[in-house]
Every structure is written in structure tokens, then in C-alpha cells.
Amino acid sequence: MNIIRLIPCSLSAALLTGVLFVTGCASGPQLLPPTAMVAPQPRADNQGKYMCPYTSDGVVADWVDKGVKAKLGSSIGGTVGAYAGQQALQQVPFIGGFLGQKAGEKIGLEIAVAGCGGWDNIKKSSDLSFDSVEDLSVWLYVKYSTNEHYQDVLSAAEGIYPEMGERYMVALQAASTRG
């Protein structure tokens, strides 16, 4: 028995459209392997906006170990802040939840940075930096994505630079088109 015959025609078209849409999205841009990309050049100082989680001699910076734990702090902070915001603004739950989430993200970031020893420690233990989070993302991918500890290092960086989590894949896709 053909199951499609049992489904009304308009529903069949909607299902087919949905399947084609999902299939089309799944075949999005492909990332080049790290060996096929060009790594941006880091600054040889700690004066950029984004501190590198690796030092110039290829060793993980001191703040990274603490930063792995700090990523959890960011998640906890967002949850605590959203809850506090909802409680404070119970009459307007959407606004309260939104404002609470924003406050929580700020609290979470503060927790993450404090978990790394503070900005002074992050800067002091870094001797490479970047002016853009996109350059940092591509550099990390090209240089260290095959390292067994890459996910931990990436999580540490995203813990103190939440925007990196938002723009990481976009940066890698853009770098894949440049080669």
C-alpha cells in the first residue's frame, strides 16, 4: 500500500516541500580541512582585543585550564539571571525572561573571567592576541583543530568571548571560500 495515497494532496506537497527544505539545508557550505586554509597572523603581543589561548611557543596559556571550568559559569549565570529576571518581572514574563537572560549572560561572563583569574591574568599569561574574533577562530582551527584538547581550548575561549561562539562557524565558512 502506498502511504502517499493516504495523505491528502495538499499535505503531501507540504511534506515534500519540508523534506526538500531540510535536505537543502543539510548540504550547506562545506569547511575545508585545516591544512587547506591560511591562518591569519596573530599579534605578537597582548594588546589585541582577543587574547590567544596558546602562547607563542605552542603551549596552552595558563588561563585556559581555569577557562574550561569558566564555560560552565557562563551557562549557570545565564540560567540564574533569567530566573531572577522572571521573578522580578512576573507580570511581564517574556520581558522579564529576556532581561534576566541578558543580566545572566553578563553575570556568566563575569564568572567565566573571574574563573580564569580575571582580565589582568588572562592578559598577563598571553603573548599572542588578535584584533578580531574571526581571525582568532580561524587561527585556532587551522593551527590546533586536530589536537585532542581542541574542544576544551575552544570552550575556554568561548567562555570569555561569548561572541566567538556566535561567529565561529561563520568565520570558518568564510575562510573556506578563501582557501
Same domain, 136 and 157: yes
pLDDT tens track for 73-101? 444 444 444 555 555 555 555 555 555 55
What mean pLDDT do residues 57-64 have? 92
| Number of domain units in the chain | 3
> Do residues 131 and 124 lie in contact, with contact meaning Cβ atoms separated by under 8 Å?
no
Q: Half-sphere exposure of 47 toward its Cβ, with a 13 Å CA cutoff?
A: 3
CA-based torsion, 63, 66, 71, 77: positive or negative:
negative
131 occurs within a structural domain: yes
Rg for the chain, CA atoms, rounded: 21
Which of residues 47 and 156 earns the better pLDDT score?
Answer: 47
Range of the domain at 49: 31-61+126-179
Q: Which residues of 154-175 are buried (b: 16+ CB within 10 A; e: fewer)?
A: bbbbbbbbbebbebbeebbeeb
Q: What is the pLDDT of residue 37?
A: 96
Q: Is the pTM of this model over 0.85?
A: no
Which residue matches cell numbers 582551527? 141
Q: For all residues of the chain together, what is the average pLDDT?
A: 76
pLDDT tens digits along 29-40: 689 999 999 999
Rounded to 5°, the CA angle 82-85-91 comes to 125
Residue 90 lies in a domain: yes
Please check whether residue 121 lies inside any domain of the structure: no
